[in-house]
Amino acid sequence: MLYKKDENDRGFAYQGLAILLTIFLVLVHQVSAAQIAIILFLLLVCEHILSNENYINTTYFSLFTAMFMGYWFYFANVFVEELLLSRSDIQFYEEFQIKETVQMGYEWIYILNHLDVSVFLLFALIGIGYLLWDRIKANKRNYTDYFSVFALFALLTIVLYIPTPIQTLWQTMTLFRFDRFMLLISPFMAFAMAAGIYILYSHLSDSGKKPGWMIVISVLMAIFVLSSIYYNGPESKPFLSDPVREYFTSDEIKGFNYFMDHVDPGSALYSDYHAHRFFIQQNFSESQELGLPFFRSYTISDVAEIPTYDGYVIIRQKQFLDGGIYTGSGSSNFLYGPEDGNDAALTSSLLKDAKIYSNSGVELYL
């Protein structure tokens, strides 16, 4: 919007701000620059379809694209080379790695955990639908209401914001960082939801149903706010469920199988309490003849001691972030969660160069 020349002929000032903003984005958010370019392109398309007012100039879009691509390939070539090599590894695409979403038998918990998304989707679809319907009903060549552009853009991108199969794949959400799309398009989603609330309230007020329906809208908004704070806050825990799972996910089992298939028998393995109980395979007289794996399995006594371990370390990263893992020695196990800087302490103890396997549930270090 900064590139738009206003009625007071201050176009040069706006263009200067746009150029400074572009330089800042390219230098500071070079990874997100390509995604920002995609969003700008979609806005240009929506403008071309529905509005005669062009707030995003094609010249600015070309400038932004040229600047971030020039920076990528002429100044940050080492970064781009590493980026392309890490994303083109064929091992990442041998099979789709599905992130854990809905567990069998816990579907109702999943629904409760996403009440805020349900309320958001209700109001957002009302706002998007009404604004697009109003635009079609107007049917004027000189239609200048820019709200319909936002509505069409929200309709095209809402699939990146709400839970969909796209958000279940590790390749899309982690490898290609589609999670950043959710952050970048959130202002447009907020606009769509606000438009839906305002339109619904105005329509019901004109129909003489203000008191009763106002209570309904207020209750829905309260559900949205409370569930958003509870489930998305840093201290949130899964509702009506133990923060530490009593089962292993498919990704965790894949990681465990990778360890048993590729690591020499007899190796030392350090893990959390529950994973330690999984690796109970011990050596006996015919282990090698039968080709059976066996390990020396230990529990991580202290995260700070991980760099001193001689062997392998398995971290159930998703479980650690979701609710924590049990560590400690002997019978004195304690919950080690991501709060109070523990996530940073764990990351510093796990050397990046020592990672030999990773999926959305498990990381294996040597």
pLDDT in tens, 122-144: 999 999 999 999 888 876 545 55
Q: Name residues whose C-beta falls within 8 Å of residue 165's C-beta, 6 or more positions apart in sequence.
A: none
C-alpha–C-alpha distance, residues 363 and 351, integer Å: 12
C-alpha–C-alpha distance, residues 347 and 365, integer Å: 12
192 touches 150 (CB < 8 A):
yes
**Side-chain half-sphere of 123: how many Cα atoms within 13 Å?**
25
Cα four-point dihedral sign 231, 232, 234, 238: positive
C-alpha–C-alpha distance, residues 240 and 238, integer Å: 6
pLDDT of residue 187: 93
Kind of pairing between the strands at 296-299 and 312-315 = unpaired
pLDDT of residue 296: 84
What integer is the mean pLDDT of 312-329? Answer: 85
pLDDT at 194 over 90: yes
Q: Which of 178, 182, 189 is nearest to 31 (CA)?
A: 178
Cα four-point dihedral sign 239, 340, 328, 306: positive
Token pair belonging to 221: 């908004």
Q: Which of 324, 173, 141, 331 is nearest to 238 (CA)?
A: 324
Residue, of 176 and 270, whose pLDDT is higher: 270
Q: Which of 37, 53, 24 is nearest to 184 (CA)?
A: 37
Q: Which of 246, 295, 245 is nearest to 271 (CA)?
A: 295
What integer is the mean pLDDT of 308-332? Answer: 82
Kind of pairing between the strands at 296-299 and 325-329 = unpaired
How many other C-beta atoms can be found within 10 angstroms of the C-beta atom of residue 303? 17
pLDDT of residue 92: 64
pLDDT at 67 over 80: yes
C-alpha–C-alpha distance, residues 24 and 306, integer Å: 39
What is the percent of the chain with per-residue pLDDT over 90, rounded to a whole number? 16
Q: Which of 319, 348, 350, 357 is nearest to 336 (CA)?
A: 319
* Mean of the per-residue pLDDT values of the chain: 79
Token pair belonging to 157: 């991108």
In the 3-class helix/strand/coil scheme, how is 92-106 assigned residue by residue?
Answer: HHCCCCECCCCCCCC
Q: Which of 296, 236, 239 is nearest to 267 (CA)?
A: 296
pLDDT of residue 171: 74
**Strand ranges for 9-166 from DSSP E:** none
Q: 309: phi > 0 → left, psi -120 to 50 → alpha, else beta; which?
A: beta
Q: Which of 152, 159, 160 is nearest to 180 (CA)?
A: 160
186 touches 161 (CB < 8 A):
yes
What integer is the mean pLDDT of 151-157? Answer: 94
Model confidence band, residue 164 (pLDDT cutoffs 50, 70, 90): confident
C-alpha–C-alpha distance, residues 248 and 103, integer Å: 11
3-class secondary-structure state, position 47: helix
3-class secondary-structure state, position 335: strand
Q: Which of 32, 44, 201 is nearest to 130 (CA)?
A: 201
pLDDT, one tens digit per residue, over 197-248 is 999 888 887 766 666 777 888 888 888 888 777 766 544 444 444 567 778 8
- pTM value? 0.63
Token pair belonging to 78: 């080492």
